[in-house]
Copies of this chain bind each other. A is one copy, B any other.
Amino acid sequence: MRLSRFLLPVLKETPADAQIVSHRLMLRAGLIRQEAAGIYAWLPLGLKVLRKIEQIVREEQNRAGAIEILMPTLQPADLWRESGRYDAYGKEMLRITDRHKRDLLYGPTNEEMVTAIFRNYCKSYKDLPKNLYHIQWKFRDEIRPRFGVMRGREFLMKDAYSFDLDEASARAAYNRMFIAYLNTFARMGLKAVPMRADTGPIGGDLSHEFIILAETGESEVFCDSQLIDMGAPGPEVDFDGDLQPLVDQRTALYAATEEMHDAARFEAETPADRRLSARGIEVGHIFYFGTKYSAPMKAHVTHPDGQDRPVHMGSYGVGVSRLMGAIIEAHHDDNGIIWPEAVAPFGAGIINLKAGDPDTDAACAQAYEALSLAGLEPLLDDTPERPGAKFATMDLIGLPWQLVIGPRGIKEGKVELKRRATAEREELSLADAVARIIAGRTP
């Protein structure tokens, strides 16, 4: 992409009303624009990152055997009357009346609708296990939206729903999502810690939140510090196998959100030098809730013994749009964002120090073509801005590599290559610089 044809409205000033660094940087780097309280438009650069985050989430859901569907944003109220949640949900649910005076709502979550889909098509134990997910915009009418996309009202969520014959197989489904989540967040450069959590309005008796530690986190969390660097099992995990040992390895160590925290147990189970109390951002939340929805909504399947019984369910959420904020909280410095390669909106930035100078333009075009061919999708700053402003913008938007090309260097056959994360700079030939960027890419 040539910057002269793109829309990248960076701000020099720090927006006054943005309280946390990710919100400030998302506004300053031209990723989002607020359209109403807690409702954002995604500008071109922000949308590219959002799509990369979404695609990682999708790939890891698919790998774990979940099947993608897409439910609509609006739902009929009658569906929520079946589960009893229509009246129970409170003011966070956006209630709507259509021209025929029928009650609709903007889905804050989809347990009811997916249960109705399941019961319509799946009637036998032979149809199990099933895990259906979708990645769709949700709305929660937060009383005080804040922190940008961290606590917005219209937000993008991945929500998966598992259906199983009994509690044991439902727990296996829960474990598959538990492991898929570890892999998902690791691919985005995040260290997410699973913590025992409260089930809240979703219900059920088993639940984990996946928490990123960050000073700006909304909730206080307590955990064994060994969990932080434990890493993810990785893509080689056999999702058809027994995942319990991998789950146990994590859940054996103490980790709890504020609501579930038990100070006495924390002290008893965790050596003093490993007792970590910090603030955290919730990026995923998984629940096992048995027959809470399937019983009232009559989502029954026939068991091998010929009896019909309600299926056992779980639900599994990832805050896709919120993740962008969480990634920035974890990866930035005073100059701006430092995107992990897997979610960077462009693979490299090329700075033309003298747009209009034929030799410089030609060298930039050559680099642009070579990087494009290698699939790196570069962003070429071909605008007439002065060098200082171009450097600042490129640091702010945080692409992994910066290739700086100017007339003086070209005379000596040199360009400058800068790695954003470390600020290391090197002078080398254009061909070597391009080769370095291509080689530096994670396969």
Residues of A within 8 A of B (CB): 5-7, 9, 30, 33, 35-37, 39-44, 47, 50, 65, 67-76, 79, 91, 94, 96, 98-99, 102, 104, 106, 113, 116-117, 120-122, 130, 132, 137, 139, 141, 143, 153-154
Contacts and interface: CB of A to CB of B under 8 A. Distances in A.
Contacts of A96: 94, 96, 106
Contact of A41 (B47, B67, B70, B153): B70
Nearest to A79: B35
Q: Which of A68, A91, A99, A117 has the most CB of B within 10 A?
A: A99
A191 to B, nearest CB: 28
Given A33-B117, A94-B98, A96-B96, A39 B72 contact: yes
Contacts of A37: 102
Q: Which of A39, A65, A72, A132 has the most CB of B within 10 A?
A: A72
Given A35-B113, A41-B113, A72-B154, A67 B137 contact: no
How many copies of this chain sit in the oligomeric assembly?
2
Contact of A69 (B47, B68, B75, B139): B47
Nearest to A130: B7
Contacts of A75: 35-36, 39
B73 A117 contact: no
A141 B42 contact: no
Contact of A33 (B40, B65, B120): B120
Given A41-B69, A96-B96, 7 more contacts: A33-B120, A35-B76, A39-B75, A40-B72, A42-B69, A42-B71, A47-B68
A41 B117 contact: yes
27 contacts: A5-B65, A5-B67, A7-B67, A7-B69, A7-B121, A7-B122, A7-B130, A35-B75, A35-B116, A39-B74, A39-B75, A41-B69, A41-B70, A41-B72, A41-B113, A41-B117, A44-B69, A47-B68, A47-B70, A50-B70, A72-B137, A72-B154, A73-B137, A74-B139, A74-B154, A94-B98, A98-B153
